[in-house]
Amino acid sequence: MDNDMNISTLALLGGAHVHLPDHLQQMKARGFRVGYVHDRDPDRRDRLCAELDAKPLATLDALQGLQTAGAVVCSETAHHAIDIGAALSAGLPVFSEKPLAGSARDAEAVAQHSAKAEAILHTAYFFRTVPALRKAKGWVSEGRLGEVRSARMLFNHDGGYADWLNLDSWMTDPELACYDGFVDEAVHAIDALQWILGPIREGHAGTGNALGWPLNDHGAAILRFASGATGVVEAGWTDTRMRLELDLVGDAGAISLKEGEMTLTPRGAESPTERMGLDPLDAGTGILPFLSALEGRAAPGLVSAAEAARVNRVLNDLGLRLN
């Protein structure tokens, strides 16, 4: 890969997201760097510029004509649509943290903008980069399960009680977060299940508040897919540890992912015929398909803007948008 400014340098739009350090680590490993920073918090902007040896952007208009490979949006969710729109208008491909925007309407608008501009707009649904989940999708596509009838996915962590997630921040401000702690994790499962099984047609969600912040922090949703399959998603910030679980049951077999191991068991078999370990989860890998696309390489795991907008539509249909 060239080291020219416009090839290896990215513009960072917002530094609020908890996974920004993970993305920066992946970028550095691939030879990319942040050359410009825009943030509505000038102190955070200046700190990031000092840490990253980057130049400040006073306004989003400064993106016009900028010699940079693309934009990385890690601002508060409420600002995603404006930041993404400005980058697309400047002719830049865009990586956005999840969810794509703060409402289905805004997500669909930026997806349409990217389609009109014929520009990459990739969202950080990193489950698509997880080898075990890619294998599960492959097994389903190959017909190893037959017709899938039911699905369950759980993605929880202990961030609400641990010291690694700062919830005294925009993440618990309904105006900035737009969605709650259930959604913060559930979007990964919703995207993954739609990626594997196809679109969700309808559903209902229930959420709860264990931590006392102004928005809820865990919950569950019952879903029905267009295929007729039923689904359950459980997610939140209130577990005792990081957990990812998956169950897919079909006419011909089942996939089960628990305690770090995934198995495939044909119907009627006494034991699994396939096993695969789950690699440690790293949300930073969500940016890798974007970087590969910028390099002109194959980009498995790239999330289309329309697919990301469909996650927002499911959230709105479930009544999970906060404002």
Domain ranges of the chain: 5-126, 131-280
pLDDT at position 7, please? 75
Whether 321 and 110 have beta carbons less than 8 Å apart is answered as no
Distances (CA, A) of 234 to 22, 223, 280: 24, 11, 20
Topology given in CATH for the domain delimited by 5-126? Rossmann fold (3.40.50)
pLDDT at position 1, please? 36
Whether 204 and 318 have beta carbons less than 8 Å apart is answered as yes
CATH number of the 131-280 domain:
3.30.360.10
* Type of residue found at 148: V
pLDDT at position 4, please? 45
Residues 146 and 300: their CA atoms lie apart, in Å, by: 24
Residues 133 and 124: their CA atoms lie apart, in Å, by: 15
Instruction: Using 70 as the pLDDT threshold, list the residues of the chain that sit under it.
Output: 1-6
* Type of residue found at 185: E
Give the predicted TM-score (pTM) of the model: 0.96
pLDDT at position 5, please? 47
User: What pairing do the DSSP bridges indicate for beta strands 243-250 and 253-258?
Assistant: antiparallel
Whether 140 and 148 have beta carbons less than 8 Å apart is answered as yes
- Residue 135, classified by CB atoms within 10 Å of its CB into exposed (0-12), middle (13-18) or buried (19+), is middle
Q: How many CB atoms lie within 10 A of CB 237?
A: 26
pLDDT at position 93, please? 98
Whether 51 and 75 have beta carbons less than 8 Å apart is answered as no
Query: Which residue from 303, 291, 285 is spatially nearest to 121, judged by alpha carbons?
Result: 303
Residues 25 and 39: their CA atoms lie apart, in Å, by: 20
